[in-house]
Structure 1
Amino acid sequence: MSLHSSEFPAGAAARPAPLAARAVERAWRSVTLTRAVSLAVFAAVAAFILLTFRDYGISNDELVQHTYGELLIAWYASGFTDDRAFHYINLFLYGGLFDMIAAGLQNHIPIPVYEWRHLLSAGFGFMGLIGVWRLGKLLGGEKAGIVALLLLAFTGMYGGAMFTHTKDVPFAAAMVWSLYFITVLVARLPDLPSWRVIVGLGAAVGCALGLRVGGVFAVFYLLVTVGAGALVFRSVWLPFRLLPRLIVSGLVALAIMAVTWPWSMLPPSNLFKAMGAFNNFSFDLSTLFNGQLVPIDKIPSTYMTEYLLIKLPELTLFGILMALVAAAFSLMRLLRQGAVVEATALHPRRLVAFLPLLLAIGTPIVFTLLDGPPLYNGIRHFLFVIPPVTVLAALGLTAGWRLLWPRSRALGLGFAAVVTALFALNAVSLIRLHPYEYVAYNQLVGGTPGAWGRFEGDYWSSSLREAALDLRKGLDHEEAIAAVHTPHRYKVAVCAEDLQVSSYLGPNVDMVDDWDEADFLLTATNIGCDGAKGMPYATVSRMGIPFATVTDLRAGHKPVGQELPADEDGDDDIFAPSPNAPLVSSLKDAGPQVAKAKP
């Protein structure tokens, strides 16, 4: 089923066209080629996931999230008596769908637990890509589905976040599938939806609620769209005809939510407590916004909107602009040809079917503008807005092509050249940032280098993995040069969670909290840590931006028994300090962070 209009206006193909133009048209119209491209893109994304999921570091919250999943499993295993999960930090305010799957299968997956979590999270992200492809295909045809898929896969805050944002990306995937089934439901009005659609809708909304209470947004989209459908089809009985099937869908959603988030049903009023808690959630934390550290309860109401504007790829913004142009063009044609004539050409299903997409984009934006909830980490908490925005951009790009190509081959080729250049610009940036694609910014703020120090960077401190591996490589090199028979033990401190570096440092390292005792300090520059002076040992950088640093503290608190060896392997990121090297301290004024779960 698809609601898209014809690929080219009637009569366009009848005009004489050069051989190359006819070849382009044949390729564009080819169903076989379209499906082959779709399969190729999905295969490439799957290969990327399998080849790179080990590259991503452990995020700040993963330890507590995984523990929460284990506690939920323990509640079931104890016969519902071990209720530690319902009192664990603030995580009982979240559904445990992802963490329960991760914890429940960890003993059956032959890879380290956090690599398994990253692979599982990317799997959820892959399902979200399928959902975006299906939604784009439904609203704009197979070409729009492919464009939406490519745009989202090459959006840093989705394609690069799939591995580490283990709360946000699974939730976004569940929400886009909820949006897809809502759109299918209303696109078939006034006919009743199939039971497959009803069960799919319930499962998608239930999974969303089983991850975050924000799944209620999907319920809002559904109710508003059904009400709009009643108006469009002039049937006051339509909602009542739908009610029995919607009740079944609601029961499926509640069952999934109850299993994956049992606290929400013990008693059911807890669901509303969670909604109120997140609307007023705040703690002592500041976020970087336009060069200023702002307390999260004092951020401007435009925080999310501005981050969305500067985090989306340039091509996505261009697609949104083209969608507005196409809408304006259609409106002018409506006025020129006459409202009655044009209205008869537009089936009511097409009018109401686009409403869920617009609601999914507009509702969260309006909510943040009016309510001003405490936010941080940029767009992370509203990452679920990116898939519908991407679908809108894909519809705009395909509409722009269909408007321009039949009217002017030169304009059509110029449009294709602009799209290709913008896509390449973003793709090259993400390749250079790997595996930190999620920090990418567009050229409205000068790209990622221009945004660094002004807006949030590596807030998950995932670059500490690479810093730890650099330190381990450097220490192995030192001991090999010194021909040490008994490996020396080193004390390492980190301005983050110990787990984020201890997992990669090897057996001869002891993690310490007191920096005065440490031989080395590791910190991600986005955090900002102060108080330890030493010599630079290694730096993790991309595009000239320092993501994480390793500082050698040995000379500051005990004599060095021998001159440290120089680096001989040509690795610019690792070097032994010189006695004449300047003392350095890390960047900002925040001390070691206390472990806490972020909402």
Structure 2
Amino acid sequence: MTVEGGNGSSFWEGVGQMALAAAILFVAVTFKDYGITWDEPLHLENGWLALEWYLSLGEDRRVLAFQNLYLYGALYDSVSAMAGAALPFDAYETRRLVGGLVGVAGLAAVRAQARELAGPRAGALAIVLLLLTPEWMGQAFSNPKDVPFATAAAWLGLFQIRLLRELPRQRLSTLLCFALAFGAALGIRVGGVVLAGPLAVGCLYWLARHMRVHPPATALREGAWAAARLLPAFGLAWLLMLGFWPWAQLEPVTRPFQVLAGFAHFPLEFSFPFAGRTLVSTDLPWWYVPVGFAVKLPEMTLLGLGVATLAGLRALWRHPMALTQERVGLAAAILLPPAIVIVAGTVLYDGIRHLIFLLPPLSVAAALGLDRLAAALTGPSLRERLPQAAILGAALLIVWAGSQVVTMIRLHPYEAIWYNRLAGGVAGAAGRFELDYWGSPLSEAASRLRNHVVAREGSAALVRPYRVRICGPHASALYFLPPTWKAVPDGKGEADFYLSFTRSSCGAVPPGREILRVKRMGVTLAYVLDLREQGISSDPP
């Protein structure tokens, strides 16, 4: 790890830029590798219906009652639909490309946040940490709500830092950027109103510090002035949200609040494995969120968070107002949303998916901790006692990064099923936690089934009316099968092949010859059976 200043700053600027370039290259090379997720066909259609709403000036009203997606803003789906009309890829490939680039935009925001708070080294560490968090890039390509929302929240976090630093006279440009980012977040999910909480906490902390050095009347007057400057930004954000949300445009004041009240206790109840126990989505224990992040964050991120937490507590022990309002705002961005979720008893499922927007601030905080650790390792006092400390620290970072890259390559394109060593890795988490919950391995299974049958039966197999029984999202498989191959109704009845994912059971598995398995790191994600009486010769799974 290099000493900051001079060439050190240039080095870390280069590391940050290289990480961003690597992320863009990763998206360009791999965006076609990802399968179709469970609800993605609905989002694809929702995007086109939203465009029809705008193009018809509200005459085409189908988007207003489409599934339950009318309860969300259509920003991301609309952008993906427009990209689909302009780019020379099929609809799903286009969504992969857009999603990957949105994930990269989140990386850029994280680097900018940490850089603003602690300099180039922290910025480089933050982008590396988030890039090598498999949950982030693994979800980015095909998650139509959570990663786009998280990226908007990450940019909002950047402008929150600047607003808090500029108090009480925030710049107009910062206020405008804050409003744009906030409006984008709300235009994806109205629950983004929670993102205003950390800014409020930071402002109140600033006011408390300000009153320690200024007369109360002066401090309150300047606080009121700062609040008055913020109000138009919130108003603009609300207008942007309405612009991206057709259903809310009809009743712009009441409908967003109706959705907020309903989503806190969304009526979706089912059981799933978590930490070796069976939990119910509507009755989660308080430890669901902390344990979920503890097993999903990379070990290096956990180390950085530990150092940052100890440093923050030590500073507060010395002086209760020792932290800056920007760092208090960052802490609130990490702690406030989970606290609200736990107190409100919010319905959650699919691991940490609904709280992916916490990954950017967690990566920033971890980078600040690692940056502080790097400063200690390269400081004169430790360097005299342990000359090789900086080299050992750099070696540890490089070895961890290399190991993480290798693991992500082995999991590709299912990086999101990754768990850290606290959960025993992917193999240790199998059966104790949910791995794949999107159903996208069915896409690989279907593609390999098609190639397998054609290789043994010739091209005539492409036009035979084969019947396929599918356990899991049908569209994830059918899109990659010949059009003459049909799914049997409701996944039941006579069939020639059986395709299944492993998230849940679809009843008794029919007898048949196993043709193939989709596996990563020893764990089966999907499999295919030949149900015909004679079957066809199969390769070892």
Match of 1:263 among 212, 231, 247: 247
**Which protein shows a greater Rg?**
1
**Normalized against structure 1, the TM-score is what?**
0.83
Q: How many Å separate the matches in 1 of 2:86 and 2:396?
A: 48
1:495 aligns with 2:471: yes
Which aligned pairs between 1:98-109 and structure 2 lie closer than 5 A? 98-109=76-87
The one of 354, 373, 388 equivalent to 1:400 is 373
Map of 1:273 onto structure 2: 258
What letter corresponds to residue 270 of structure 2 in structure 1? L
| Between 146-155 and 295-304, the greater mean CA deviation after superposition | 295-304
Distance 1:282 1:377 in 2: 15
Aligned 8 A contact 1:157 1:438 in 2: yes
TM-score, with structure 2 as normaliser: 0.92
Partner residue in 2 for 1:147: 125
Change (3 A) 1:57 1:524: same
Give the deviation of 1:29 after TM superposition: 4.3
The CA distance in 1 between the partners of 2:314 and 2:270, in whole Å, is 46
Q: Which amino acid letter does the alignment assign opposite residue 442 of structure 1?
A: N
Task: State how 1:205-224 maps to structure 2 within 5 Å.
Answer: 205-224=182-201
Residue of 225, 234, 245 corresponding to 1:241:
225
- Note if 1:511 corresponds to 2:487: yes
1:97 aligned onto 2:70:
no
SS in 1 for 2:525: strand
Contact 1:131–1:180, Cα closer than 8 Å, also in 2: yes
Say whether residues 1:300 and 2:285 are aligned partners.
Answer: yes
**In the alignment, which of 475, 478, 494 is matched to residue 456 of structure 2?**
478
| Alignment partner of 1:387 is 2:360 | yes
Separation in structure 1 between the aligned mates of residue 116 and residue 80 of structure 2, nearest angstrom: 32
**Which residue matches 2:268?**
283
8 Å Cα contact 1:515/1:521 also seen in 2: no
1:524 aligns with 2:501: yes
Q: CA deviation at 1:420?
A: 3.1
In the TM superposition, what is the alpha-carbon distance from 1:319 to its structure 2 partner?
0.9
Aligned-pair CA distance for 1:364: 1.4
Tell me how far apart the structure 2 counterparts of residues 505 and 194 of structure 1 sit (CA, whole Å).
Answer: 55
What's the counterpart of residue 564 of structure 1? 536
Give 1:358's match in structure 2, choosing from 314, 328, 331: 331
- Aligned partner of 2:206 in structure 1 is 229
Kindly tell me the number of residue pairs found equivalent between the two proteins.
526
Using the TM superposition, give the Cα deviation of residue 506 of structure 1 relative to its aligned residue in structure 2, in angstroms: 2.6
Contact 1:523 1:548 in 2 (8 A): yes
Q: What's 1:111 paired with?
A: 89
Residue matched to 1:201: 178
Cα offset, 1:354, TM superposition? 0.6
Partner of 1:83: 61
Bigger Cα displacement from structure 2, 235-244 vs 464-473:
235-244
- Structure 2 runs not aligned, ≥5 long: 212-218
Measure how far apart 1:83 and its partner are: 2.6
Deviates more, 1:92-101 or 1:490-499: 490-499
Structure 2 residue aligned with 1:30: 8
2:341 aligned partner:
368
Cα displacement string for residues 175-221 of structure 1 (whole angstroms, at most 9, x for unaligned residues): 0111110110111223x222211110000000000001121012222
After TM superposition, list the pairs within 5 Å mapping 1:434-445 onto structure 2.
434-445=412-423
Measure how far apart 1:39 and its partner are: 1.9
Distance 1:100 1:233 in 2: 44
CA distance in 2, matches of 1:148, 1:28: 20
Q: Retained in 2: the 8 A contact 1:539–1:546?
A: yes
Q: Distance in 2 between matches of 1:487 and 1:365?
A: 52
* Pairing 1:377–2:362 present: no
CA contact (8 A) 2:132 2:404 kept: yes
Identify the match of residue 254 of structure 1 among 229, 238, 243.
238
Alpha carbons 2:299, 2:420 under 8 Å: kept: yes
Superposed CA offset, 1:56-78 (max 9, x none): 11110111112222222222233
Task: Report if aligned partners of 2:72, 2:190 keep a CA contact under 8 Å in 1.
Answer: yes
Q: Which amino acid aligns with 2:80?
A: A
Structure 1 residues 370 and 515, CA gap change in structure 2 (3 angstroms): same
Q: CA 1:230–1:429 in 2, change beyond 3 Å: closer, same or farther? A: same
User: Percent of aligned pairs with the same residue?
Assistant: 33
Q: Distance in 1 between matches of 2:455 and 2:258?
A: 55
Structure 2 residue matching 1:489: 3-state secondary structure: coil
| 8 A contact 1:479–1:487 mirrored in 2 | no
Q: Pairwise CA RMSD of aligned residues?
A: 2.2
2:304 is aligned with 1:319: yes
* Separation in 2, partners of 1:390, 1:378: 18
* Separation in structure 1 between the aligned mates of residue 164 and residue 4 of structure 2, nearest angstrom: 33
Out of 503, 525, 528, which is 1:550 matched to? 528
Compute the displacement of 1:31 (Å). 3.1
Higher helix share: 2
Aligned match of 1:586: none
Aligned partners of 1:49, 1:566: CA distance in 2, in Å? 34
